[in-house]
Structure 1
Amino acid sequence: MRPKITVVGAGNVGGTVAQRLAERNCYDVVLVDVVEGMPQGKALDLMQAGAVYGHDALVTGANNYEETGGSAVAVITSGIARKPGMSRDELLSTNARIVKGVVEHIVARSPQAYLVMVTNPLDAMVHVALKVSRFPRHRVLGMAGILDSARFRRFISLELGVSPAEIHAIVLGGHGDTMVPLLRHTTVAGRSITEWLPKDRLEALVKRTQDGGAEIVNLLKTGSAYYAPSASAVEMVEAIVKDHKRILPCSVKCEGEYGLRDIVGVPVQLGKGGAERIVEFDLSADERAALNTSARAVRELCDAVDRLMA
């Protein structure tokens, strides 16, 4: 029996997550959205594509949650998209209410599921999901650091003219302007990035990574990124369901790791136990200060969510 993966939100991100999962040909996918006909149409389209692509995944579209029962993982992408000039903080009120309702439905039907949050503001939505689901921290994770690290790796690869496969990078902190790329732990073919690029170019690439989402929003005009976010979410699903033991940066509730008790992006070992452990890197004083600043910014968002949901 194939694991069932539920994807909530059939927009660009959710639809592409469903496509990537179907094309793995080892999951059954349920695509849920409130817009009548949209998840059903996309599900039918994806199954017809399977006849060409070579997969026979069952993809079900639904406007309610009855088909989601028994899901191994739920990927939650639902919410309003960020518009040009809109900060992540401005998304908070509307998306917190949407995520609260979604999580209640998922938990009622799939009490053993793992939750992978994609909705922005990402770290605050992990907080909402934890609070509403009452799941332990290892079963509620946010997709952020994988995306941020991928952007950083790609920008470095374009700068150097090498494959991103040769680049290893970790980005910590909240998903937004306060993210913390660990330059000391960034390597190209095993050599430190500082041996490849001067300080000013590295700073420019870090800045572009921090603004990576906004850059795409400003170019698209009417939407936000979805190819890279969907790929990042699927990497998390695969690591959990297939017990890959990948060490990936994810948003998770720290319980003393890095001296924090906040939800923030840190390296996590992902396997069949979800967030099986948090991996602690040796941080410089500056890196630790930047991570604390990022965690403080996330904490302020979470406090605001609590006020809204009181």
Structure 2
Amino acid sequence: MRSKVTVVGAGNVGATTAQRIHQLGYADVVLVDVVEDLPQGKSLDMLESGPVTGTDALITGSNGYEESAGSDVVVITAGIARRPGMSRDDLLLTNMRITSAVTEEVVKHSPDCIILAVTNPLDAMVQNIFQSSGFPRNRVFGMAGVLDTARYRTFIARELNVSVDDVQAMVLGGHGDDMVPLVRYTTVGCIPLTELLSQDRIDSIVQRTRDGGGEIVALLKQGSAFYAPSAAITQMVQAILLDRKRILPGCAYLEGEYGIDGLCVGVPVKIGGGGMEQVIEISLTDEEHAALRSSAASVQELVDVMASAKAEAG
């Protein structure tokens, strides 16, 4: 019996994620969106690709959540898109309301599922979904670090003209301008990055990584990245469905780890059949700790804004 994955939001990120998961063949997919006929049309198109891609998995589109009932994993991408000149912070309150409503339906129809949050601003939305769901922290976490790390690895590989497979790296912190690429832990074929590039070149790559999402938004003029984000989501979903115990950067609710308590922040985590099964604590220098705390403080500001808005709304 195949697993069941629901993707909420049939925009570019959600639809491409649904396509990637469906094509893998070991999970049936439900694509949910409020726009009438949109998820139905996209899912039918994907279903008809099965004979070519070699998958018998089913994919169904819906404007409600009944078809999603009993999902093993629910990916939440629903929300308004980021536009040129718009910061992730600008998205905050609108997407808070959207993800709160989505989470209510997800919990109602799939009370035992694992939720993977993707909506921006990512870390704040993970916090909102976690609090709204009432689920334990292992069953609600977010995708951002895998994407940020993929960008970081890509830029390093292009700079050195080497395979991306040989670049090992990790980006921590919030999914924003103050994310924390861990240069000290970055290797290329087991060789420290600092042995291969000057500090100036490393600093340039780090900055481009932090600006990665904005760079694509500026180039597209309308919309934001979706190919790399959907690939990152699919990697995390695979780790859950296949119980792979992958060590990946994920946005998790911390309970004292790294000196952070009660906040969702990007850190190394073990992902398997139980969801976010473990927060991996690694040693950080004083400078790295300060950068992570600064990134967490930016997330906390957004969480405080959401708390105030919820209090005002009663």
Q: TM-score, normalised by structure 1?
A: 0.99
Cα distance in 1, alignment partners of residues 181 and 124 from structure 2: 20
Q: Report deviation, 1:51.
A: 1.3
- In 2, Cα distance between the equivalents of 1:296 and 1:192? 30
Q: Distance in 2 between matches of 1:247 and 1:270?
A: 6
Correspondence for 1:284: 285
Alpha-carbon distance, 1:306 to partner:
1.3
Shift, 1:57, TM fit: 1.2
For 1:61 and 1:105, locate their aligned partners in 2 and report how far apart those are by CA, in whole Å.
Answer: 16
1:308 is matched with: 309
Instruction: Quote the Cα distance in structure 1 between the aligned partners of 2:101 and 2:76.
Output: 11
What SS class does the counterpart of residue 251 from structure 1 fall into? strand
CA offsets per residue over residues 185-236 of structure 1, 9 Å max, x none? 0000001000110000000000000000000000000010000100111111
Aligned twin of 2:122 = 122
Between 255-264 and 180-189, report the one with greater CA deviation.
255-264
Q: Deviations over 1:132-152 (max 9, x none)?
A: 101111110110100000000
- 1:163-183 deviation per Cα after TM superposition (whole angstroms, max 9, x unaligned): 110000010000000100111
Q: The residue matched to 2:48 in structure 1 has which SS?
A: helix
Residue by residue over 1:64-112, the C-alpha shift from the partner in whole angstroms, topping out at 9 and shown as x without a partner, is: 0000100000000000000000000000011000000000000001001
The one-letter code matched in structure 2 to 1:287 is: E
Alignment of 1:87-102 (within 5 A): 87-102=87-102
TM-fit CA distance, 1:245: 0.4
1:136 corresponds to: 136
Corresponding letter in the other structure for 2:248: L
Show the counterpart of 1:216.
216
CA distance in structure 2 between the aligned counterparts of 1:255 and 1:30, rounded to whole angstroms = 33
Question: 1:297 corresponds to which residue?
Answer: 298
The answer to whether the aligner puts 1:266 opposite 2:264 as a matched pair is: no
Residue 305 of structure 1, CA deviation: 1.1
Question: Equivalent residue for 1:16?
Answer: 16
- Matches of 1:199 and 1:304, distance apart in 2: 37
1:2 matched to which residue of 2?
2
Aligned residue in 2 for 1:166: 166
Amino acid at match of 1:211: D
Letter in 2 for 1:188: V
* C-alpha separation in 1, matches of 2:254 and 2:53: 41
Q: 1:283 is aligned with what amino acid?
A: L
CA shift, 1:263, in A, is 1.1
The alignment partner of 1:254 has SS state of strand
Counterpart in 2 of 1:70?
A: 70
Partner of 1:184: 184
RMSD: 0.6
Return the alpha-carbon distance in structure 1 between the equivalents of residues 112 and 242 of structure 2: 16
Question: Do structure 1's residue 249 and structure 2's residue 249 form an aligned pair?
Answer: yes
SS in 1 for 2:255: coil
Shift of 1:54: 1.0
Count of aligned positions: 310
Separation in 2, partners of 1:108, 1:188: 46
SS in structure 2 of the partner of residue 239 of structure 1: helix
Partner Cα distance (1:93, 1:255) in 2: 25
Percent identity at matched positions?
A: 57
Q: State the alpha-carbon separation in 1 of the partners of residues 274 and 33 from structure 2.
A: 28
Return the offset for 1:50: 1.0
Look up the SS of the partner of 1:36 in the other structure: coil
**2 CA distance for matches of 1:309 and 1:151?**
35
- Matches of 1:309 and 1:60, distance apart in 2: 34
Deviation, 1:31, is: 0.1
Displacement, 1:130?
0.9
Between the aligned partners of 1:303 and 1:136, the Cα distance in structure 2 is: 21
- Quote the Cα distance in structure 1 between the aligned partners of 2:228 and 2:205: 18
Distance 2:46 2:305 in 1: 39
If the length of structure 2 is used for normalisation, what is the TM-score? Answer: 0.98
In structure 1, what is the Cα distance between the partners aligned to 2:141 and 2:184?
A: 26
